[in-house]
Structure 1
């Protein structure tokens, strides 16, 4: 592993710094928005703006890279993002923040595409699984670390926004000064939603619903904390718990994924997520039960994303996987746009507790649909399922396609090993 990291440490360091800045700004929106008197509905629109930009960036950035190259696109998007973070403090209006969030979402999506292309190019067939795992860990640690940085300042002034901008600005230095020649970006045209649904109804519907869950957790968590009266430090801890759980649950769920019916695992994880939301709703704002609920709810969300990707691949040929990956990322993005809008409107009408009610209802819908699909399709033999790899919901199509290719290679190698061990007839 040390040998693998020695060749990609600069990329990973840059990603950690980017995630520190981006993670700070996600929580800052909720904190500063509360100070400015924004309603839950207004902040929901601001939150959805990021995912609108992210979805657009995933489609357009590969075209930009082919026209002007990795380095120019990477540096330009970094500059725009850094400027956008500072601009939040210049005009505290919901419409202005929504435009800035669209811009930042677009930039982050493009940054992911470029960085993941470099990362994938630096990996070999033997090291790709470890490289992608290290990348996902770096992303998660960056988001969690960002919440600690928020405790060092006051969201009421510009200092934290400036700090986030500085982190993003300096993150490009280790990447641009050390990367090897940029690879060509080849992203498959996404599979149509109709064909995707026909191939895997559970994968398509599940990942759409999960998009709403993830966007609500990451974008509306700080809004919820502000509305129930948590301090800035407590809100930072709450958001950190939403992401920390993924580090604990990713490996055991991944281990089980390659050994049991994935639909049962999806059902169980979604049921656990729904139970955690019920706990969050019943806590009455008690701090540590609230943190436990966030840890469990966030902890099952990221593994569920990887589960839906792996389950969908189980019913596709190797040639279809890249296009399906693009379709699933697009479907997830649609859910991520709509989820916060529904949550914000419900919080405006019902109150802060609707944060947990909407999340819980969405988890329940995933669990019930998984249960229904178990009655409609025969189980895929465990030995024929693709290998699981923990891909984060923040990953671009480049990383998802690379993970799918690696999983297919692993599954093929395992099948060949089993065949070689069989005694001759």
Structure 2
């Protein structure tokens, strides 16, 4: 792992700065929206806009890269991000913010696609798993660091927006000064959703549901904190707990998934995550319990996405896995766009309780569906399944396909310690 960091540290540094800026702006908007008097429903449209743009960016950026190259796409979209970040506090209108969030979601998605393609191009079959693991850790650390900046800043002013913009701008330097253009994207014929669902109904349904859950805690956590009267440092800690749980539990869950029926693990993680949401619902007034609830939710939802990809791969031929990636990302993206909207409606109808009601409902539905699927067909033998690769719900097509490559590389001769 040290070798991977040594050869790709400029990329990881640039990605870290990008994630700090992204983590900061997402939570900052949720807090600032409350200061500006935006309603919960209005903020749900703002937060959903990011995922709509992200979905579009993940589908269109490969074509942009094929036409003008990685460096130009990275620099152009990064410039859009910096510009949007400083526009937020100057145009304090929820519908203008929604448009800006679509733009910034598209741009972040494109930047991630480009940076992930450089990372994947620099990885070998032996280091791909380690590269994915480090990339996941960098993402989580960056988001948590962004919450730390929010805790010591003033969300009512301009400075935090400027800091986020500067971080994104500075992130270009280590990336663009250290990489060379990578080969053009190979065109992968997508698999139809009908065929994908026939191969893995649980993978499809679970990916859609988790897209909604992830978008809700990524986009609506700060809105929830503002609605319940949490202070800015408390909101920062509240959001951080999600990602700390995700990074600490990702690898133990990955190890376990390679040793048991993955549907059983999906079931129990969904139940535990849903129980965490119920805990937050019941003990909303106790901040320490809220932190524990978000740690549990983040620690289950983040690994569940990679677990569902691994489960889907268990029923596929290796040559079909890349084609399936696009379908799973599309389902995840549709779920992500709808999650904040439904949560915003629920919070408007039931107050702050709607936040945890939505998360609990999504996770318990996933658990129930996993139970039903276990009655429909037997699980493959553990010795015949592939190796879990850490991928977050925010991953683009490049990261997911890299995980698929890692999965294929380890189909034969699985070792006893498959995690990077």
User: TM over 0.5, yes or no?
Assistant: yes
Q: 1:297 to 1:2 in 2, by over 3 A?
A: same
SS for the counterpart of 1:320 is helix
Instruction: Quote the Cα distance in structure 2 between the aligned partners of 1:154 and 1:323.
Output: 46
On the 8 A contact 1:187/1:398 being kept in 2, the answer is no
SS for the counterpart of 2:376 is coil
On the 8 A contact 2:69/2:181 being kept in 1, the answer is no
Counterparts of 1:54-93 in structure 2, within 5 Å, are 54-93=54-93
Residues matched between the structures, number? 417
Counterparts of 1:3-22 in structure 2, within 5 Å, are 3-22=3-22
Unaligned runs of 5+ in 2: 416-420
Instruction: Quote the Cα distance in structure 2 between the aligned partners of 1:67 and 1:411.
Output: 35
Q: 1:187 to 1:272 in 2, by over 3 A?
A: farther
Alpha-carbon distance, 1:363 to partner: 0.4
On the 8 A contact 2:387/2:410 being kept in 1, the answer is yes
- 1:55-92 Cα offsets, whole Å, 9 max, x none, are 00011100010100000000000000110111101111
Say yes or no: does 1:371 pair with 2:371. yes
Instruction: Quote the Cα distance in structure 2 between the aligned partners of 1:71 and 1:304.
Output: 33
Alpha-carbon distance, 1:248 to partner: 1.3
Query: Who is 2:296 aligned against?
Result: 296
The 10-residue stretch of structure 1 (277-286 or 72-81) with the greater mean CA deviation from structure 2: 277-286
Alpha-carbon distance, 1:335 to partner: 0.2
Alpha-carbon distance, 1:408 to partner: 1.4
Instruction: Quote the Cα distance in structure 1 between the aligned partners of 2:143 and 2:405.
Output: 27
Alpha-carbon distance, 1:195 to partner: 1.2
Unaligned runs of 5+ in 1: 416-425
Alpha-carbon distance, 1:189 to partner: 3.8
Instruction: Quote the Cα distance in structure 2 between the aligned partners of 1:4 and 1:348.
Output: 47
On the 8 A contact 2:70/2:181 being kept in 1, the answer is no
Say yes or no: does 1:131 pair with 2:131. yes
Query: Who is 1:326 aligned against?
Result: 326
The 10-residue stretch of structure 1 (401-410 or 360-369) with the greater mean CA deviation from structure 2: 401-410
Instruction: Quote the Cα distance in structure 2 between the aligned partners of 1:52 and 1:284.
Output: 30
Counterparts of 1:191-210 in structure 2, within 5 Å, are 191-210=191-210
Query: Who is 2:99 aligned against?
Result: 99
Query: Who is 1:183 aligned against?
Result: 183
SS for the counterpart of 2:230 is coil
On the 8 A contact 2:71/2:181 being kept in 1, the answer is no
Q: Normalising to structure 1: TM-score of the pair? A: 0.96
Q: Which runs of 4+ in 1 moved over 3 A?
A: none
Query: Who is 1:251 aligned against?
Result: 251
Instruction: Quote the Cα distance in structure 2 between the aligned partners of 1:324 and 1:233.
Output: 41
Q: 1:57 to 1:187 in 2, by over 3 A?
A: farther
SS for the counterpart of 1:183 is coil
Alpha-carbon distance, 1:19 to partner: 0.2
On the 8 A contact 1:189/1:326 being kept in 2, the answer is no
Q: Normalising to structure 2: TM-score of the pair? A: 0.98
Aligned residues: CA RMSD:
1.3
Counterparts of 1:19-418 in structure 2, within 5 Å, are 19-186=19-186, 188-414=188-414
Instruction: Quote the Cα distance in structure 2 between the aligned partners of 1:188 and 1:221.
Output: 36
Instruction: Quote the Cα distance in structure 1 between the aligned partners of 2:185 and 2:396.
Output: 12
Query: Who is 1:422 aligned against?
Result: none
Instruction: Quote the Cα distance in structure 2 between the aligned partners of 1:141 and 1:353.
Output: 29
On the 8 A contact 1:136/1:392 being kept in 2, the answer is yes
Instruction: Quote the Cα distance in structure 2 between the aligned partners of 1:84 and 1:110.
Output: 15
Instruction: Quote the Cα distance in structure 2 between the aligned partners of 1:262 and 1:103.
Output: 37
On the 8 A contact 1:259/1:382 being kept in 2, the answer is yes
Alpha-carbon distance, 1:187 to partner: 5.3
On the 8 A contact 1:79/1:169 being kept in 2, the answer is yes
Alpha-carbon distance, 1:119 to partner: 0.3
Q: 1:103 to 1:187 in 2, by over 3 A?
A: farther
SS for the counterpart of 2:411 is helix
Instruction: Quote the Cα distance in structure 2 between the aligned partners of 1:15 and 1:189.
Output: 29
Alpha-carbon distance, 1:304 to partner: 0.2
On the 8 A contact 2:387/2:414 being kept in 1, the answer is no
On the 8 A contact 1:117/1:183 being kept in 2, the answer is no
Instruction: Quote the Cα distance in structure 1 between the aligned partners of 2:187 and 2:309.
Output: 17
Alpha-carbon distance, 1:186 to partner: 2.7
Instruction: Quote the Cα distance in structure 2 between the aligned partners of 1:77 and 1:273.
Output: 35
On the 8 A contact 1:118/1:183 being kept in 2, the answer is no
SS for the counterpart of 2:237 is helix
